[in-house]
Each structure stands twice: as structure tokens, then as C-alpha cells.
Chain A
Amino acid sequence: AQSVTQPDIHITVSEGASLELRCNYSYGATPYLFWYVQSPGQGLQLLLKYFSGDTLVQGIKGFEAEFKRSQSSFNLRKPSVHWSDAAEYFCAVGGRSNDYKLSFGAGTTVTVRA
């Protein structure tokens, strides 16, 4: 069964500082990996995705993530956060072949202080 663990429930970061959110997954083969962001009361917006190829993927809003097969990780990074980055971030794993669902982690809430 596929699963995702986001070890950090809440992270506080200063505006302009760097941000890294951790994600570990469990899946029997190479999965599809995603990061979504959710602002309060909103749906989920896709930040970036990994399907295959280059293990460092670039997304929207200046985010990037690195797939590390040996560590079963897909950590999200941003070099310099903006106040508007305050939100909840979800890592998700998707199957291949006939497994269409996305399995999400519990999320990490990011607070940005001035």
C-alpha cells in the first residue's frame, strides 16, 4: 500500500529565509510524486510533480523538489519565502498502471513571520 509521511506538522520561518518541507513515501515501485498547497478555506493548488527523469523538479512560485530514491524522499524547498507562502502544504504519491488515486500526507502548516 502506498503512504506518505510528512514529519513536520508546523514550521515557522522568517520572511526571506529558506524553507524545506520533508516528505517520505512508501510505494512498491517508482511512484508519481506531487506537492500541493492549500490556503485557508481553499482547494489544493499543484506546485510541482515528478514522474521520471531529472530528479530535481521546478514548480510554480519559486518552489523546487528533489526526488531521492535511496531515501524514499521528495522534499520541497524554496530559497526565500514570502509572506504569501503561509499556507498548508501536502505531499502526495500517485500510483502507476491501474492505481489512479493520490495518497496524501497529513500536511505541514507554514507560518511566515515578518
Chain B
Amino acid sequence: DAGVTQSPTHLIKTRGQQVTLRCSPKSGHDTVSWYQQALGQGPQFIFQYYEEEERQRGNFPDRFSGHQFPNYSSELNVNALLLGDSALYLCASSLKGTGYEQYFGPGTRLTVT
């Protein structure tokens, strides 16, 4: 049973560029959430996708956008990258109706130079 997978593992980008991160949920899960974890901090909620729509959003600017595909996989897009966007980006999947029990992937480490 495959868990949550994310790609790529590491990424280095330059300020002002755009980046796309990808996530495949755990088998049987239909909901995907994205979190940003800065160094030394706890994860911060970016948004959650269910039925291909953004269901809830945290306090992140519009530069952060996402998408969910019919197979439940998801992408996180960040435009006009800033140095402060350097972080570990975590994807979590869950099944609607199970009390928000979320399973996390290994993350994508984004470095903005």
C-alpha cells in the first residue's frame, strides 16, 4: 500500500521564478492538504483540495495556488518566488469523513536563492 508520495525531493530556484510541486495521495484517499514548514517551525496550513476544488485556505498570498486532478493527485504552484518561500513543503492526504486524520508525505525541500 503506497503512502503519500511527493516530487521532486529537492529543488533550487531563483527569486522571481515559478515552481510546481507534485503530490500523490495515499491509496484510497480523496483529499489533499498542503503545508509549509520553515526551518525550526511547525507546519503551516496552505490549503486543502477536495473534489478538485480548494475547500479551505490558510493565510498565504495568491502567489500560492493549487490544483487537484480527477485521480486525486495534486500540484502546488508558487509564483514570483521570494527568499522567504524557502521551506519544506509537505503534502498530506486524508479521507473525507474520517475526522481529518492526515497522512504526510516526505516533503519537497525548496531553496530560493
Interface string of A47-63 (1 = CB under 8 A from B): 00101000000000000
> Is B111 in the interface zone, CB < 8 Å from A?
no
Contact of B104 among A43, A99, A103 (CB under 8 A): A43
Q: Give the size of the chain B interface in residues (CB under 8 angstroms).
A: 25
Residues of chain B contacted by A44 (CB below 8 angstroms): 43, 90, 92, 104
Segment 43-95 of B: residues with Cβ below 8 Å from A = 43-45, 48, 55-56, 58, 90, 92
Q: A43-B107, A46-B103, A51-B99 are in contact. Are A99 and B42 (CB under 8 A)?
A: no
A102 engages B99 (CB within 8 Å) = no
Q: Give the size of the chain A interface in residues (CB under 8 angstroms).
A: 25
Q: How far is the CB of A65 from chain B (nearest CB, A)?
A: 15
B48 engages A100 (CB within 8 Å) = yes
Segment 78-105 of A: residues with Cβ below 8 Å from B = 90, 92, 94-95, 98-105
| CB < 8 Å A-B pair total | 61
Residues of chain A contacted by B106 (CB below 8 angstroms): 42-43
Known: A92-B42, A106-B40. 13 other contacts (CB 8 A): A4-B42, A32-B100, A42-B107, A43-B4, A43-B104, A43-B106, A45-B104, A49-B99, A49-B101, A100-B31, A101-B58, A102-B45, A102-B100
Report A's interface with B, CB cutoff 8 A. Answer: 4, 32, 34, 36, 42-46, 49, 51, 90, 92, 94-95, 98-107
